Structure formats: C-alpha cells, structure tokens
C-alpha cells in the first residue's frame, strides 16, 4: 500500500451543539478516483470546507503528503496542491477565460508578486494557457468576459482553473450540477481525461457519474462515514440502500 496523498484523522467540526463532521477518517491514494456521496445535509460541503481551510476544524487533523496542514490558511493549502472546484461556478467576471488562466498559471509559477512587467510577456505562461484552452474546448470563446460564457463553458473553465493550479489533490464539488443535457457530455469527457496522477475526490449527487467515474466510494451520513468500499460493494450494501440509494436510484435512472 502506497502512502496516502490526502489523509484525514478523526476530523471533526461542531457548530455549537451540532456535529456537522463526526470523526471522519479518509484516505486518498496517488491517482485516486474517489467519490464522496451522501444525502442532502450529510455534511459533504462542510467536509470540503474543512479540507480546503475555509472552516477551521474543531478536532482531528488533515495531512497532505503526510504534512499536517490542519492550521494552514486556504491559499497556503492551494500552494501545496490542495485545489477545489465550486458547485456554483466562481469566476472572475470582468476577466476573459484567457486572462483568468494566465493569472492562475502566473500565480502558480510565483510571478504574481511582480509589480512590473505584464502577463502578456510571459511566453511560457501563455503557452500553458493555450494548451489548457485547447484541452478544455475553450479556445473559441477565450476572449469573452467570463460572465458572458454559456453555462457549460463556465463549468469547463471552473475545472480548467483548478487544473491550472497544478493540483496534487483535486476536490470536484458537483461538477455536472445544473448542466443542460446538451453540454453534459463535454464535461464528462473532460473529467475522464483529467491527468491520471492527480488524486480526485468527487462530491456528486449524480449516481451515473459517481459509478462511472470512481473506483472507491465513501458514503457520508449525518457527518459520519457510514460505509466505504469499491462501487460494487457500496451498491450491494443494504445500509447504503436504506439511507440513500433506495430513494436516490430512482432519481438517477
């Protein structure tokens, strides 16, 4: 068994008397395709916020490459490779897709403390940007302001931004939520083509995507891990069926 890229140890979050995350221990291997599922209110979003540093943990620890990052602020975790996408696209509305990616690649390469010069002159940054625009099928709309992009393109840019951060671990928060059927296939193909060495934690309601994409599934209920295992095991687990798939399977069909 190889070392985990991302690991949590009895991670806990309380809001007053409510336990939103209850002693969660997760482990992501290098190149993992790991799905996190659970009914609404199971604490998936809280867990993502604990992992990324948006919320401070009440107890327990988060390790990235076996380094304790529990107390690091959001941007320092990103610098170490803990990157996320948002359920509702979070873009820089006045920038174009090309400008956005140039900024993010520049940030990743540590040139954004420069108060002189211009991203327009950073040849290697722009090469990487063109590559990303091509990979994510954004080249045709790359000079449009992001607030004028079609919904599906916004979702693609959301994932492209995350990849531009050169993640070790990528948290995908409902990447196909709300995407119209016509644009869905494009996103599914993009997800399938994500670099194999990146460990991915997928938070998703869409069972078709979860079972098609992941090789390992963790089921979260009431903030605690109810079950984990390979997709076939999870699909056959009667407890999971009872709390989740029983009602969810009809939606997915």
Partner 1 sequence: MLLATDRSRERLIVGFLFALAFVVPWLMPSRALFIAETAGVALFALSLDLVLGYAGIVSLGHAAFFGVGAYAAGLFARFVMPDPLTGLAVGIVVAALAGLVCSLTILRGSDLTRIMVTLAVSLLLYELANRFDAITGGADGLQGMSMGPLLGRFEFDLQGQVPATYALVVLFLALLLVRRVVRSPLGATLLAVRDNPLRAAAVGIPVASRLAFAYVFGAALAGAAGALVAQTSGFVSLEVFSIERSADVLLMLVIGGAGWVYGGVLGAVAFKVLNELIAGITPQYWTFWMGLFLLAIGLLGRERILRPWTLW
Taking the least distance from each CB to partner 1, the nearer of 5 and 78 is 78
Stretch of residues binding partner 1 (CB under 8 A), selected from 68-76, 176-184, 218-226, 238-246 = 68-76
| CA end-to-end distance (rounded Å), the chain | 36
Element (H, E) at 228: strand 224-229
Integer-rounded Cα radius of gyration of the chain: 19
Taking the least distance from each CB to partner 1, the nearer of 90 and 247 is 90
Percentages of the chain per state (helix, strand, coil), in multiples of 5: 40, 25, 35
Taking the least distance from each CB to partner 1, the nearer of 99 and 228 is 99
* Window 124 to 153, contacts with partner 1 (CB under 8 A): 126
- Examine residue 164 and tell whether it contacts partner 1 (CB under 8 A): yes
Q: Minimum CB separation from partner 1 for residue 84, in Å?
A: 6
- Using CB under 8 A, count the residues that bind partner 1: 39
- Binding flags for partner 1, 193-232, as an x/- string (CB under 8 A): ----------------------------------------
Nearest in space to 146 (alpha carbons), one of 197, 104, 96: 96
Q: How far apart are CA 168 and CA 68, in angstroms?
A: 15
Helical packing angle, 151-164 and 97-108, nearest 10°: 20
Applying CB under 8 A, the residues found at the interface with partner 1 are 52, 73-75, 78-79, 83-84, 86, 90-95, 98-99, 102-104, 106-108, 111-122, 126, 161, 164-165
């Amino acid at each position: 068994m190889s070392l985990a890229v991302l690991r949590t140890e009895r991670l806990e979050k309380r809001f007053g008397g409510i336990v939103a995350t209850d002693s969660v221990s997760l482990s992501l291997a290098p190149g993992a395709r790991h799905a996190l599922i659970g009914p609404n209110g199971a604490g998936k979003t809280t867990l993502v916020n604990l992992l990324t540093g948006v919320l401070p943990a009440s107890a327990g620890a988060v390790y990235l490459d076996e380094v304790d990052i529990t107390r690091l602020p959001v941007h320092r975790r990103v610098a170490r490779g803990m990157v996320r996408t948002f359920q509702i696209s979070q873009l820089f509305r006045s920038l174009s897709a090309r400008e956005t990616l140039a900024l993010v690649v520049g940030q990743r390469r540590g040139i954004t403390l420069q108060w002189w010069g211009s991203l327009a002159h950073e040849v290697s940054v722009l090469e990487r940007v063109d590559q990303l625009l091509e990979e994510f099928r954004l080249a045709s709309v790359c000079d449009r302001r992001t607030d004028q992009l079609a919904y599906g393109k916004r979702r693609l840019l959301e994932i492209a931004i995350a990849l531009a951060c050169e993640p070790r671990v990528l948290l995908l928060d409902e990447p196909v939520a709300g995407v119209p059927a016509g644009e869905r296939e494009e996103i599914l193909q993009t997800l399938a083509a994500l670099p194999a060495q990146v460990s991915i934690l997928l938070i998703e309601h869409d069972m078709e995507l979860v079972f098609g994409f992941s090789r390992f599934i963790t089921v979260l209920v009431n903030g605690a891990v109810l079950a984990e295992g390979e997709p076939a095991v999870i699909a056959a687990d009667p407890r999971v069926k009872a709390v989740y798939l029983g009602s969810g399977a009809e939606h997915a069909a």
